[in-house]
Chain A
Amino acid sequence: GNSVTQMEGPVTLSEEAFLTINCTYTATGYPSLFWYVQYPGEGLQLLLKATKADDKGSNKGFEATYRKETTSFHLEKGSVQVSDSAVYFCALREAAGNKLTFGGGTRVLVKP
């Protein structure tokens, strides 16, 4: 079946540091890939997505590139802010399906 593996947190870093959250997946065919963010006390929000190999999704300074050869979709941000403190979820949707399969989530804490 489909699965998503993300690095375990928490990830603690200082403001303006570089952030990388690793995500790898197992799926048949060509899934669509997503990053969702969950701020404290809120539901998940779509951060970015990529629907085919070599696509780069970007939003709010975050980027992730769909790498078919390494089955990865790592999330990066060059300079984090305190407001980026949240839990980040990598997810996939198989090409012929509807439901999202989520990774376990990575908690990120940015300190001033």
Chain B
Amino acid sequence: DSGVTQTPKHLITATGQRVTLRCSPRSGDLSVYWYQQSLDQGLQFLIQYYNGEERAKGNILERFSAQQFPDLHSELNLSSLELGDSALYFCASSETGLISGSDNSPLHFGNGTRLTVT
């Protein structure tokens, strides 16, 4: 058990809809990362938050947004869903998020939310 909790485990919705994925990081971890895993794109970094603030952005679509709350849990919002958004969405957390040459704290991943858009 990584200590990272993601809900829900599965989500089935229709095109055009909006969903929210939730992540609770490991106790004490300040950084939260969101990744998308699909068959054709592999594992893609979406966005990172550190202690409530956006820290790094990857291949995240404008239709997607995220935030990290004061209790450090995070939500990923996906809107105007398309068939191609069907994927496994992973949240990960780490102790630190500082841009530092000595920052090698590993990421701890949740079990993911499987999103199916029909």
Contact = CB atoms under 8 A, between A and B. Distances in A.
A71 to B, nearest CB: 18
A45 interface: yes
Interface size class of B (residues with CB under 8 A): 20 to 34
Interface string B63-103: 00000000000000000000000000010100001111101
A49 B104 contact: yes
A43 B43 contact: no
Contacts of B90: 43-44
B107 interface: yes
Nearest to A100: B107
A102 B42 contact: yes
Most A Cβ at <10 Å: residue of B58, B98, B107, B111: B107
Nearest to B106: A46
Nearest to A50: B104
B7 to A, nearest CB: 13
Interface residues of A, number: 24
B56 interface: yes
A43 B48 contact: no
A96 B56 CA distance: 12
A5 to B, nearest CB: 11
A51 B102 CA distance: 9
B24 interface: no
B4 A51 contact: no
A43 B99 CA distance: 25
A101 B101 CA distance: 16
A46 B42 CA distance: 17
18 contacts: A34-B106, A43-B110, A44-B43, A46-B106, A46-B107, A51-B104, A95-B101, A96-B100, A96-B101, A97-B56, A98-B31, A98-B55, A98-B56, A99-B56, A102-B42, A103-B42, A104-B42, A105-B43
